[in-house]
Amino acid sequence: MAGKPSHVTIRDIARQAGVSVATVSRYINGSAPVSPQVAERLGRVMAATRYVPLAAARDLASRRTRMIGLLVSHLDNDFFAPLLAGIEGVVQAEAYNLLVATSRPRREHAAPAIGPHNTDGMIVFADSLSDEELASVHGSGFPLVLVHRTPPASLPIPFVTVENKRATQSIVDHLIDVHGKRDILFLRGPAQQEDAYWREVGYRASLEGHRIPFQSSLMLNGEFEREIAHHAVRDFLADGHPPFDAIFAGDDHAATGVIQALRDKGLRVPEDFPVVGFDDQSLSAFVAPPLTTVRAPTREVGRVAARQLFNLLVDRPVEREILLPTEIVIRRSCGCPYGEPAQGRGGEPAERPGIGRPST
């Protein structure tokens, strides 16, 4: 774990940042917004001085909060239920409580609702904190574990994620090799998320491997969201679209919106257009038709991340990076008979495909 918190006071922070003590208090407690410039300056000063609020420092020393934090960008998606279940099982076994909050980077510059002031350590999902915010929190010595993202190169924060690139390449290969599809519509996930980045890389790699030209006109923004994917495909179908013969929806949540958009136009899955997803969410086997997808071990990601965090809390060794394998699950939405064996797997952790920060 990083070094112990310093004895710097809130007045020291205010003096070095050139602001009032009240402004520092608002920034730390999130009781009112501060300007982006002031927030950035306070973050730099707090990181440089390794400042932790006094109450949090006492709690970190005594472990009196017995509270673990989970910071996510939102919760309105079926993806989060198994992640929460995996974390919660470990937290309960350790006789701790789990505190969950939502946050998006750069939407506001107040401190997150959870952190050193009310938890002993925190699991951070994907894009819920910016690199600058991570640097500020990590610089204070507060224990952090990331899930579904890697840290900035300069920050040795442990992370747990899943293999995306090869699994996506395999499922797109399946559409091409088994079902003879070539013009495959792809719905991107959120631009800032690494899962989305590596799934796009895998999609492009499959096309390249089959010498199929990439067509930017067959890329839509699905954002890993049912409603957004539904509207994107609905508008695509209404606008004199280029030819396509299959859809990779980016994830299962988006896939349900894609299937509904096709139905709205009187089109059938898989008879008219095969649809495949990613994650193997709990309802994916029960949609009509059952969804061919990539099974990602989301519950295991939560369990492993929580175990890593508790290792940090008691100064046990942790693994800096953990990449969990994925596998293809064949169901009827791709056009295969339901129950046909999977055609491929994602990468093994040692090979590290589909991991790292997206290019900008």
Domains and their CATH numbers in the chain: 55-157 (3.40.50.2300), 165-297+325-351 (3.40.50.2300)
Q: Whole-prediction pTM value?
A: 0.79
What number is the average pLDDT over the span 132-151? 92
Confidence category of residue 334, pLDDT binned at 50, 70, 90: very high
Confidence category of residue 231, pLDDT binned at 50, 70, 90: very high
Confidence category of residue 342, pLDDT binned at 50, 70, 90: low
Question: 244-286, pLDDT tens digit by residue?
Answer: 999 999 999 999 999 999 999 999 999 999 999 999 999 999 9
Asked whether the predicted pLDDT for residue 345 surpasses 80, the reply is: no
Q: What is the pLDDT of residue 234?
A: 98
Residues 6+ apart with CB under 8 A from 221: 187, 188, 228, 232
Q: For residues 227 and 140, which has the higher predicted lDDT (pLDDT)?
A: 227
What number is the average pLDDT over the span 227-239? 96
What number is the average pLDDT over the span 309-331? 95
Asked whether the predicted pLDDT for residue 29 surpasses 90, the reply is: no
Q: What is the pLDDT of residue 60?
A: 46
- Per-residue HEC secondary structure of the chain comes to CCCCCCCCCHHHHHHHHCCCHHHHHHHHHCCCCCCHHHHHHHHHHHHHHCCCCHHHHHHHHHCCCCEEEEEECCCCCCCHHHHHHHHHHHHHHCCCEEEEEECCCCCCCCCCCCCCCCCCEEEEECCCCCHHHHHHHHHCCCCEEEECCCCCCCCCCCEEEECCHHHHHHHHHHHHHCCCCCCEEEEECCCCCHHHHHHHHHHHHHHHHCCCCCCHHHEEECCCCHHHHHHHHHHHHHCCCCCCCEEECCCHHHHHHHHHHHHHCCCCCCCCCCEECCECCCCCCCCCCCCEEEECCHHHHHHHHHHHHHHHHCCCCCCCEEEECCEEECCHHHCCCCCCCCCCECCCHHHCCCCCCCCC
Q: For residues 160 and 51, which has the higher predicted lDDT (pLDDT)?
A: 160
Q: What is the pLDDT of residue 296?
A: 98
What number is the average pLDDT over the span 19-43? 76
Asked whether the predicted pLDDT for residue 31 surpasses 70, the reply is: no
Q: What is the pLDDT of residue 229?
A: 98
What number is the average pLDDT over the span 167-196? 97
Q: What is the pLDDT of residue 174?
A: 98
Q: What is the pLDDT of residue 339?
A: 61
Residue among 224, 191, 236 nearest 359 (CA)? 191
330 residue type, one letter: I
Asked whether the predicted pLDDT for residue 30 surpasses 70, the reply is: no
221/30 Cα distance (integer angstroms): 32
Asked whether the predicted pLDDT for residue 3 surpasses 70, the reply is: no
Q: What is the pLDDT of residue 140?
A: 84
Percent of the chain with pLDDT over 90: 63
